[in-house]
Amino acid sequence: MIINNDRSVVAADGARIAYGITGDGPPLVLTNGLTTSVFYWNYLYPIWAERFTVITWDLKGHGRSEPARSAEGVTMAALGDDLLRILDDAGIDSATLCGFSMGSQVIFEAYRQAPDRVDALVPLFGPYQRVLDTALGPLGRVFGQIAKRTPKPLFSLATRAFAELTRNSAAYHLGQLVRVIGPDATAEDIHLYVDHLRELHPPTIAAMALAAQAHSAADLLPQITVPTLIFAGDADPFAPAQRVGAPMQRLIPGAELRRMPHGTHTSLFEHAEEIERTFADFSRRHGLLGERTTPTASRP
């Protein structure tokens, strides 16, 4: 099944955000992480589209979405607002929000702004604050300093060069060696990511990474009242379960944690069946497969 973001909505900063919608059931929104796009959901999307109305979208500067037009447009709050504007445009009152990687921070901010429009939260292998503090050990903070201090033209050039270097077959094996790519992620799956790197808008990516590092939802998590299912992997170098998933569960009242000892940051490719079984059980127990809600008033 092809994921096609063929619709669009205008963000608060004027950037056009691409999104797609398919299926016929309770709404389920899939939010990507930094530098990723809809292909990360390739294994789960066909299954979920049989039971849900699935909404996919691209963050600013990714895929078919336009670059951010302001510094404010890349904050996690602004991205959460983008998500809510998509719900408005699609005529959807409330939905279950899934967020992969940095997308977890985005769905928390959407909940902060409109908790009545969220049926459940499903952060997948992602943080709730200061993403670079846990990503790749000390290298995450190093990347943050590079993104902060490097002039935009030079950062863009370096990003393009990196995208070209990753097209080499040796990069796939190197990625597995340093555990950025999980052992069961196929070269074909990773090639989709590599191809997408060439489409990114580097200045938006750099600003978004810094915004994610500045963001924290720690104050919000104890106030969450909707069902929450956290996926975290012990082998995930970006959001390790011990440092991210487990503390997140302790902060959110009643949250469930699916801690995967073998879970990596490419688990959406590698462990889709396990993720689907856990999510299906969670959905049944919390009544997320009931009748689709009808739209009420749009946000002002």
What one-letter code names the amino acid at 4? N
- Note the pTM of the prediction, 2 decimals: 0.88
Q: Among candidates 179, 178, 138, which has minimal Cα distance to 262?
A: 179
Cβ–Cβ under 8 Å, residues 124 and 170:
no
pLDDT in tens, 41-93: 999 999 999 999 999 999 999 999 999 999 999 999 999 999 999 999 999 99
What DSSP element (H or E) covers 121?
strand 118-124
Terminal Cα-to-Cα distance of the chain (whole angstroms)? 35
CA dihedral sign of residues 77, 81, 82, 87: positive
Farthest-apart Cα atoms in the chain, separation: 53
| CATH entry 3.40.50.10490 includes domain 7-285 | no
Per-residue pLDDT reduced to its tens digit, 1-49:
688 899 999 999 999 999 999 999 999 999 999 999 999 999 999 999 9
